[in-house]
Amino acid sequence: MSLKSSSSSLQLFHLNTGSCNGCDIEIIASLIPRFGLYRFGAELAETPKHADIILATGPVTVKTLPEVLKVCEQAPDPRIVVVVGNCGCTGGIFDDSYPIVGPLNKFIPVISYVIGCPPHPQIISHAIVEVIKSNEEVFKKLSKPINSPAAPSPAPEGFRGKPVFNEKCIGCTACVTICPCQAISFVDNGEERIISLWYAKCTFCARCQDICPNDAITLTDEFELATLDASQAKEIVEIPLRRCRTCEKSVGTTPQLKKIEEIMSKVGLTPDDMEPSFYLCNECKAQRVANLYSKKR
Ligand code: SF4
Ligand code: SF4
Ligand code: SF4
């Protein structure tokens, strides 16, 4: 039997664990008539004791943790926690800073993660509706039909949503270096360079798009980023690596070296003009210089 509040409207308890307030504003916006929640009477609960769903924002700080745990303990069974915003999903821009002890799922089970910094109110609304749909027994008190939204609203002009890679990526890693949130990372696995973009860390700042020399990453207006598993909200590209002709270490990616060849050809140079060092790794280049130097002495 559900121990949820007897109110026939959906009771949402808003829990700020140390956010910048961006996500909190969007939670309020998700309750307006334009988005789906309003149609079945969603309202903010005054106390966690009445919470059907806890909507948590922020990365969880040293100071908020005891209160956060107290609030969650007061929520009726079954406790349903939805995290709103990247700080709540992964620590976001506050990750690794000294007062942060989160994210919340280290302490409390989380049922859904709404990705964004902050997320669009429509996807907050949509994520809550999905939680209700998948827990029908708990939410059977709701008398209104659950359809959200009736007609999805397009993102406003200039909205910065999910960045995506295209086939022009040469694996240069300029975007990895420029990303202020460590949302993009790479690893060379011997055969390929694997570049990974983790949306649950991204602030959608567009610096990667601006720095990319090949127009290979673009921000879209896609904001449907709610997920049951924030660790899987990733975009991955794999680029073949080129080996050092002496030691077989990686000297960069194949398309990256092709790009350099193209640039060289514009000034009348070919890789042969730079032989034998063009396809050598830095260590082998240094060794070659040292050998030449010792022969001359
Ligand atoms: S996810 Fe972004 S908007 Fe939301 S609390 Fe964190 S920094 Fe603020
Ligand atoms: S997306 Fe652009 S900047 Fe990033 S690795 Fe690919 S080519 Fe380089
Ligand atoms: S938009 Fe690009 S640079 Fe900005 S946080 Fe996201 S991945 Fe990093």
Transcribe 214-256 into DSSP letters: TS-EEE-S----EES-GGG-EEEEEEEEEE-TTT--EEEEHHH
Distances (CA, A) of 281 to 185, 247, 258, 269: 21, 8, 16, 20
Cβ count within 10 A of residue 44: 13
Q: Which atom of ligand 2 is nearest to the CA of 176?
A: 4
Ligand 3: residue whose CA is nearest its atom 2: 208
Q: Would you say the CB of residue 119 lies under 6 angstroms from ligand 1? A: no
Q: Which ligand is nearest to the CA of 163?
A: 3
CATH number for the domain whose boundaries are 11-133 = 3.40.50.12280
Give residue 3's pLDDT.
Answer: 47
Spatial contact of 84 and 55, defined as CB atoms under 8 Å apart: yes
The number of angstroms, rounded, from the C-alpha of 287 to the middle of its chain's C-alpha atoms is: 42
Here the tokens at position 141 are 């008190």
Predicted TM-score (pTM) of this structure: 0.88
Mean pLDDT by groups of 10 residues along the chain of 297 residues: 65 97 96 78 91 97 98 95 97 94 96 96 91 85 60 82 96 97 94 96 97 96 94 96 87 90 85 74 87 81
Residue 288, Cβ neighbours under 10 Å: how many? 14
Q: In the chain, which segments carry CATH 3.30.70.20?
A: 163-296
**Residues 163-296, CATH architecture:** 2-Layer Sandwich (3.30)
Q: Could you identify the atom of ligand 3 that is nearest to the CA of residue 178?
A: 3
Question: What is the atom index within ligand 1 of the atom nearest the CA of 23?
Answer: 4
Between CA 284 and CA 281 the distance in angstroms is 5
Cite the residue boundaries of each domain of the chain with CATH code 3.40.50.12280.
11-133
